[in-house]
Structure 1
Amino acid sequence: MSEKTPAKPTTLPTETQRSDPNAVASFLKQARALGAGRVAGASKGRLILALDATMSRQPTWDLACALQAEMFDAVGKTGRLEVQLVYFRGFGECRSSKFVSDTGKLKDLMVKIDCRGGHTQIGKVLSHALTETEAQKVNALVYIGDAMEEEVDDLAEKAGRLGLKGVPVFLFQEGHDPSAERAFKEIARLTRGAWFRFDRNAASTLAELLSAIAIYATGGYPALEARGRGADRLLIENMRGRSGS
């Protein structure tokens, strides 16, 4: 490959240029967000992405595959976020991947999964998250699903234990199943997480929320407050609303 000709030095104007106050404020906010992300220490943020892969989820599976990239993009190329994929489908099948820090690897895993008929296994997902965080801290659990076919009290017990360990669960519900909505909101309350509607017509909003969750996983509330986007503020409001309830 041929070498590029060095660019000529730019001649600076003799008159001092003043920086746009808005640009300065924006830069300082981004710097604070980066610093807040580092406050958590040298260890990487760990996030579990759990998906219902039963047959009813097939229509929006591709959307979930696309949106997961937002979590990595939110923290740039710092490699400070590791994500583990967990999914269930079929007759008692519930599997998990290794934690990865590359969006391409995670998407490769997701596109190989086909949805199959079966009942929900949310309890297994919560139990898995408990096991993982006992071995090494998990900063957040994201769950995307449309149904709930288990005993709510059993799920609540596991959710309460996750809450005690400081693992918030962020639940995205596709559809309007009332049983699922009640259970998902209770899990969010017990873990000090948040519940949102998973609507394919609001893909941009979902992407922004996943981005906010990634920022939280790597830097907590300080990083969210420092970045200060609309989705960041929405997430804070939901989480702190749960905490105070």
Structure 2
Amino acid sequence: MKDKQPLTNGPSSTSPDTASARGEIDAFLQRARTMAPPRQGARGRLMFALDATMSRQPTWDRAIAIQSEMFAEAAAVGGLDIQLVYFRGFGECRASKWVSDGGRLGAMMTRIDCRGGLTQIGKVLSRAVEETRRTPIQALVYVGDSMEEDVDRLCARAGELGLLKVPVFVFQERRDPVASRAFKEIARLSGGAHLTFDDSAGAELARLLKAVAVYAAGGRKALEDRSRAGDGGARLLLEKLS
């Protein structure tokens, strides 16, 4: 079983320093929202990251099937390059090349197996920052179930992604409360969204990932156009982003 790092929230942790820090974060987020997005070139870029540690083993086959469907939906959007990133084991964190063939990445994902180890979300967020400083990416999708890192460091990285206009869309498997609080904060600071993931949600999550892919390929306007056309996934994602 993984050791969890508690997050301290609630009235007992509130202090003048905490209130001041919150004010600074709110100001930081406002600046992030007003900055021009670093879009360059005609194609969008979407980073797709997976937690492949042992806690996901009981539901891994089902999760892989859902995530492969997500890739198929993303590939159907077109105008989009995708990179697969995953971590597992003792410090193992790997990334594929950027490719436009979602089917190829889906096949690669089916060959990944779970291995015991701690989460490495910080490496994923850092990679997204570094990639964007070279050539901007438009969104990061992260799929995982737990968080075993310094949450303040993760939030600092999420804030950097917010300033770079790279929203993090966190798809959470299971409902671990420590992970939930961390994931919600990562999504909030980056301007993304936090969504839950379970065995019954495959079709809905595939629609949501397609909506994320639409966003990465064409921005918020493309998402709004899909929503007006009756796309339920686009509508739900817009609600999460508002």
What is the percentage of aligned positions where both structures have the same residue? 58
Moved over 2 A (4+): 40-43, 58-78
Q: Which amino acid aligns with 2:164?
A: K
Q: Which amino acid aligns with 1:195?
A: H
Please name the residue that 1:173 is paired with.
172
Whether the 8 Å contact between 1:48 and 1:83 is mirrored in structure 2 is yes
Relative to structure 1, is the Cα distance of residues 132 and 162 closer, same or farther in structure 2, using a 3 angstrom cutoff? same
Relative to structure 1, is the Cα distance of residues 108 and 48 closer, same or farther in structure 2, using a 3 angstrom cutoff? same
Summarize deviations over 1:146-190 as a string: whole Å, max 9, x none. 000001100010000000000000001111111100000000000
Give me the whole-angstrom Cα distance separating, in 1, the residues matched to 2:98 and 2:63: 18
Counting only pairs closer than 5 Å after superposition, residues 220-239 of structure 1 correspond to structure 2 as 220-228=219-227, 229-239=231-241
Whether the 8 Å contact between 2:173 and 2:196 is mirrored in structure 1 is yes
The yes-or-no answer on 1:73 pairing with 2:45 is: no
Please name the residue that 1:161 is paired with.
160
Secondary structure of 2:76's partner?
coil
Q: Which amino acid aligns with 1:138?
A: I
Please name the residue that 1:28 is paired with.
none
Q: Give the superposed CA RMSD.
A: 1.7
Please name the residue that 2:197 is paired with.
198
The yes-or-no answer on 1:118 pairing with 2:120 is: no
Per the normalisation by structure 1, the TM-score is: 0.77
Whether the 8 Å contact between 2:75 and 2:102 is mirrored in structure 1 is no
Secondary structure of 2:106's partner?
helix
Secondary structure of 1:216's partner?
helix
CA apart distance, 1:112: 1.8
Counting only pairs closer than 5 Å after superposition, residues 204-219 of structure 1 correspond to structure 2 as 204-219=203-218
Is there any run of 5+ residues in structure 2 with no aligned partner, and where?
Answer: 1-38
CA apart distance, 1:74: 4.8
Please name the residue that 2:102 is paired with.
103
Is there any run of 5+ residues in structure 1 with no aligned partner, and where?
Answer: 1-39, 241-245
Give me the whole-angstrom Cα distance separating, in 1, the residues matched to 2:114 and 2:202: 21
Per the normalisation by structure 2, the TM-score is: 0.78
Summarize deviations over 1:195-239 as a string: whole Å, max 9, x none. 010111111111110110000000111111111112111111111
Whether the 8 Å contact between 2:88 and 2:119 is mirrored in structure 1 is yes
Relative to structure 1, is the Cα distance of residues 60 and 99 closer, same or farther in structure 2, using a 3 angstrom cutoff? farther
Please name the residue that 2:91 is paired with.
92
Q: Which amino acid aligns with 2:70?
A: E
Give me the whole-angstrom Cα distance separating, in 2, the residues matched to 1:58 and 1:220: 35
Whether the 8 Å contact between 2:173 and 2:197 is mirrored in structure 1 is yes
Give me the whole-angstrom Cα distance separating, in 1, the residues matched to 2:121 and 2:96: 17
Aligned pairs, number: 200
